[in-house]
Chain A
Amino acid sequence: MRVLTCLFGEHNLALVALAAILCIIGSFVSVQLFLRTINARGGSRFHWCFLASVCAGASIWATHFIAMLGYQPGVRVTFDATLTIVSAVIAIAGVGTGLMLSSLRNRWLAALCGGGTIGLAISAMHYVGMFAYRADGIVTWLPGYVAASLACAVVFGAVAIDRLRAHDGDRHPWLPTAFLVLAIVMLHFVGMAAFTVAPIAGFGSGPQSEVFVAMASAIAMAALLIVGTGLSTYLVEMRTRTDAQDRLHHIAMHDTLTGLHNRHSFNSELRRKSHRLSKGGPPFALIMIDLDRFKPVNDTLGHPYGDRVLKAVASRLRKAVREHDMVARIGGDEFAVLADGASDPIVVGHLAERIVEVLSRPFVIGGQSAEIGASVGITLTSDGAVDADALIQQVDVALYHAKEEGRGRHSFFDPSLTQKLLERRRLEADLRRACIREEFEVFFQPVLDTQSREFIGAEALVRWRSAERGMVSPAVFIPIAEELGLVNTIGGMVLDRACHEAASWPDHLMVAVNVSPVQMMGGRLATDIAQVLHRTGLAPHRLEIEITETALVADDELALRSLEEVRALGVKISLDDFGTGYSSLSYLHRFPIDRIKIDGSFVNKLPTDAGSASIVRAIAQLGASLNMQVTAEGIETDDQYSFVAEQGCGHMQGFLFNKPIDAKSAAKLFASGSSGRFAA
């Protein structure tokens, strides 16, 4: 009660308010600096401690001094300059010591010693300041209030430090601020209640209010400047630190090459979205993108080039998706998109189509071009799955299916796909076993001269006679063999058997063997062929290897070297499926090609389809002008035969003459010397 009477009865409230504002602002800043000091390590702790204690000491002292100026005991008052300055130094030094103690390892000890010291420093400052306060009257001290004020300062100081030590998080430590304010304010006003001045008759001339207000303002200004300096130092440091943290965070969450989100960031976002979904949040689509034919780009044009392609891929992806969709690079050539709020298969399918389309387009970088593509798997959360791991499994299955279906397309997850995946795994296992058991057979499709209808040789075709599955089409197992790295084994075996058989045929007959891009780029093709020719005794000019354009596209330098080595052996080279892919005259000029084979898909549509007819005509003319042999494949009708004969295709093959036959039948057929018969 005495405290309140003292506060309201004996004080200039304007100055008290000024002191209070200063106290709050000072404490607000000081507590931030305290926290920074306590958490600082090494030498910087001393720098922070200095800044914090100057700031806190100045604001505590100024609070006290302004409040003193606001004290109106009703008598004349003077100040002892020396003691006043000493009181300020005590405040600063005391807070500094307290702060250093506040960093003690033991939290209780730190609070007690550190906070207690700060409380005592406030008290010491206050009472020294009171000795500097010279009032012309009879001064009386009430010891009870003095003790209470000391207790308040020590307890609140200790609690403030304790709360500060316990503080963690980004919010401002409001509680310690409040306790520091309490320590200062309680000490001061309880302390003032302990202090009474009775005027002596004949002396008193009243307080010099105007002078005091001016002085208080000047001190407040000075203290605020100090506090402001502390605050801005703190903020500058915080900003620098936050920037550095933001940069680190960005680095941690993003892929350095493409600037997209990385796997880590993608996973946490997926988990966050799944969690929200399980709490009734919005549905979303998970889209997984796997680049097709990227490895050849990396292998043949180099990793730096591959990196440039990946950057371009990232840039196209970002443009293909909607603005708020998250695009991440989650592996070497794997990307993912999280499409928010997307539950309509039509909308998501359209998005996936854009992605497939835009990545199928050529990449033209640094004077060279790369053709890749993308397979896309999609799963929608509206299908029921909400668990992040389950979603990833589903999207993997969908992606696998898209690749299985021939790549360059998208596929939605469907529970039946899991079954298909299991079947595919079994097929892979069977194929591996087939390689060990050598379950492959070589069949031969005779090739005829168009004019004389005499056999000129045969194309060797591989057949897989599986113990479990019966006959399996090469269209089914060759892509899998390529993927599993078995195509070299199978290809080598076909080459060996084909040459072995052909060696027993009449000398004028040749044999054509398909060579996969994998074999061609392996670097051992010419050596392997030379060994097989030597072993089987087949004359090199009777062997022809058939390659496809895709092998030439991937790396023309390597392909050129490989083909020239083969040709140096005397073996001929023929370009298969011409007209279906990346057909370009430049290949025919650049590569040592002896023959072009017109793809059966054009011949099939002859002679009615005008487009196919003109293509067949153009290829035949091209072959003639470049001195290359031209073979038309897949001839099934007499009309087709007459058309290709008319156009000047030198050779032909197809069901019209012969179906592929096994080695024994081929040997018999060729030995008999009979020519191709027409469909009977």
Chain B
Amino acid sequence: MTLQRLFYTSRITDDDVVRGPTIARRIAEASARRNAECGITGSLAYIDGHFIQVLEGEMHPLEETFERICNDFRHREMKLIDYQTVPARLFPHWHMACVIDADEGLEGRAGSLSEIRLLSTLNVREALTAMLRLVDEADAQALAA
């Protein structure tokens, strides 16, 4: 079975933008639960009203999951950045890691968060690396706290 990685961005709808961080956290929690059942891992970043999500897993469950996301009207302007076969997972320990710009402790890193958003349109590999770094840092911070 080949391992696929999918990377997309989208924007939250205008009606929801006020509750954005809450919605993002709820989405990440729900998808982590579902992903645990079908072996999908990945991360979700919510930055300034934008979602940036990485999904990794086997083709069938991954495509099913993405199709479900495509039927979700809580976001718009979906842009598939990258979809390809990869040798290994970037987020093997996260069914859905979640980084949200409103989270405490991330104030200092607002810069790197918006950098991910910009990078996602230009350089997939850089964006993924930045995202991984951010997830690891947030994790370390949570452990320390």
Interface residues in A322-363 (C-beta closer than 8 Å to B): 354, 357-358, 360-363
> Does B6 contact A364, Cβ atoms closer than 8 Å?
yes
Q: Is B102 interfacial (CB 8 A cutoff)?
A: no
> Does A584 contact B82, Cβ atoms closer than 8 Å?
yes
Q: Which of B4, B71, B81 contacts A358 (CB under 8 A)? A: B71
Interface 1/0 per residue, A569-608 and B, CB below 8 Å: 0000000000100111110000000000000000000000
Q: Is B136 interfacial (CB 8 A cutoff)?
A: no
Q: Is A647 interfacial (CB 8 A cutoff)?
A: no
Complex: chain B residue closest to A318, CB-CB: B71
Interface 1/0 per residue, B109-137 and A, CB below 8 Å: 00000000011011111100000000000
Q: Is A365 interfacial (CB 8 A cutoff)?
A: yes
Q: Is B59 interfacial (CB 8 A cutoff)?
A: yes
Q: Please, which residues of chain A bring their CB within 8 A of the CB of B2?
A: 367
Q: Please, which residues of chain B bring their CB within 8 A of the CB of A618?
A: 118-119, 122-123
Complex: chain A residue closest to B85, CB-CB: A367
Complex: chain B residue closest to A319, CB-CB: B71
Q: Please, which residues of chain B bring their CB within 8 A of the CB of A489?
A: none
Q: Please, which residues of chain B bring their CB within 8 A of the CB of A668?
A: none
Q: Please, which residues of chain B bring their CB within 8 A of the CB of A354?
A: 73
Interface residues on A, range: 20 to 34
Q: Is B88 interfacial (CB 8 A cutoff)?
A: no
> Does B63 contact A584, Cβ atoms closer than 8 Å?
no
Q: A362-B70, A364-B66 are in contact. Are A357 and B122 (CB under 8 A)?
A: no
Q: Measured between C-beta atoms, what is the minimum distance from A77 to chain B in Å?
A: 80
Q: A362-B78, A362-B80 are in contact. Are A316 and B122 (CB under 8 A)?
A: no
Q: How far is the CA of A365 from the CA of B4 in the complex (A)?
A: 12
Q: Please, which residues of chain A bring their CB within 8 A of the CB of B83?
A: 362, 364, 367-369
Interface centre among B71, B82, B119, by most A CB within 10 Å? B71
Q: How far is the CA of A619 from the CA of B122 in the complex (A)?
A: 8
Q: How far is the CA of A366 from the CA of B85 in the complex (A)?
A: 11
Complex: chain A residue closest to B126, CB-CB: A585
Interface 1/0 per residue, B51-90 and A, CB below 8 Å: 0000000010011001100110100101111111100000
Q: Please, which residues of chain A bring their CB within 8 A of the CB of B71?
A: 316, 319-320, 358
Q: How far is the CA of A583 from the CA of B9 in the complex (A)?
A: 13
Q: Is B8 interfacial (CB 8 A cutoff)?
A: yes
Q: Measured between C-beta atoms, what is the minimum distance from A323 to chain B in Å?
A: 15
> Does A584 contact B67, Cβ atoms closer than 8 Å?
no
Q: Is A614 interfacial (CB 8 A cutoff)?
A: yes
Q: Is A371 interfacial (CB 8 A cutoff)?
A: yes
Q: Which of A320, A369, A622 contacts B122 (CB under 8 A)? A: A622
Q: How far is the CA of A316 from the CA of B66 in the complex (A)?
A: 12
Q: Measured between C-beta atoms, what is the minimum distance from B56 to chain A in Å?
A: 13
> Does B73 contact A362, Cβ atoms closer than 8 Å?
no
Q: Please, which residues of chain B bring their CB within 8 A of the CB of A319?
A: 71
Q: Pick 5 A–B contacts, CB within 8 A, sort by A.
A: A364-B83, A366-B63, A371-B80, A614-B118, A622-B123
Q: Which B residues contact A (CB, under 8 angstroms)? A: 2, 4, 6, 8, 59, 62-63, 66-67, 70-71, 73, 76, 78-85, 118-119, 121-126
